[in-house]
């Protein structure tokens, strides 16, 4: 069957979960992706977005010991991290247990080295771990993580709690590099620009643009 090389083909539709609706496994161009709520959440395009962000927003010679992913999905960013920095420990936080199982079955997340997936709410995880510090002195500046990725979408929407400045400041206190993934086409472009104006009152920001997304670095 070669249709999927030219037109996206539905492989499987999953039941709605507590957190996500319209969950579909799609094959296109020989690759699988996961669409949730009509938005591509995992797959080759997400690896491409994060790869461009890493190249443009991280310092030359960046060599992480530990990376935290809030909004793990089916592991697109974790696979890229594992390729670029195979020695790095990865902690992936994902609230939807069904998405975690899809990742294991269809996206081979169990084969990603140095990965620990935790099925919990990202807010709760940060609240429970915000005072861990760096007991072994491995991370620069005493931060808990060398890099944090915040990519928590439910369908095409980001829960309001992940735009809270107090929460973002707590995240930033845990790392030298905090990256936020945002949609960046209309109507999402307007929403993202409004959010950027809010961020600029509290952080210095740098951005990396792709045709569909904007990755924002807070410092």
Rounded to an integer, the average pLDDT of 82-105 is 98
pLDDT of residue 43 exceeding 90: no
Asked whether residue 20 is assigned to any structural domain, the reply reads: no
Tell me which residue range forms the domain holding 54. Answer: 40-218
CATH of the domain at 186: 3.40.50.150
Asked whether residue 35 is assigned to any structural domain, the reply reads: no
Asked whether residue 64 is assigned to any structural domain, the reply reads: yes
**Model confidence, pTM:** 0.92
In the prediction, which pLDDT does 42 show? Answer: 87
Kindly report, residue by residue over 121-144, the tens digit of the pLDDT. 999 999 988 755 444 444 444 468
Q: Which pairs from 55-62 meet CB under 8 Å and 24+ separation? A: 56/208, 57/177, 57/179, 57/206, 57/208, 57/215, 57/217, 58/147, 58/177, 62/146, 62/147, 62/177
Between these two residues, 154 and 70, which has the higher pLDDT value? Answer: 70
Say how many domains are in the chain: 1
């Amino acid at each position: 069957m070669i249709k999927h090389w030219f037109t996206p083909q539905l492989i499987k539709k999953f039941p709605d979960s507590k957190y996500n609706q319209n969950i579909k496994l799609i094959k296109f161009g020989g690759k699988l992706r996961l669409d949730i709520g009509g938005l591509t959440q995992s797959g080759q395009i997400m690896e491409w977005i994060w790869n461009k962000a890493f190249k443009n927003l991280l310092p030359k010679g960046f060599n992480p010991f530990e990376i935290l992913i809030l909004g793990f999905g089916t592991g697109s960013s974790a696979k890229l991290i594992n390729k670029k920095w195979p020695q790095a420990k990865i902690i992936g936080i994902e609230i939807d247990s069904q998405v975690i199982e899809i990742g294991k079955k269809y996206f081979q997340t169990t084969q990603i080295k140095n990965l620990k997936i935790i099925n919990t709410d990202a807010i709760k995880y940060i609240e429970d771990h915000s005072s861990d510090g760096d007991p072994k002195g491995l991370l620069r500046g005493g931060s808990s993580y060398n890099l944090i990725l915040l990519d928590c979408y439910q369908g095409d929407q980001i829960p309001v709690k992940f735009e809270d400045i107090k929460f973002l400041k707590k995240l930033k206190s845990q790392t030298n590099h905090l990256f936020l993934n945002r949609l960046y086409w209309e109507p999402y472009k307007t929403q993202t620009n409004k959010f950027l104006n809010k961020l600029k009152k509290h952080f210095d920001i740098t951005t990396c643009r792709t045709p569909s997304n904007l990755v924002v670095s807070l410092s």
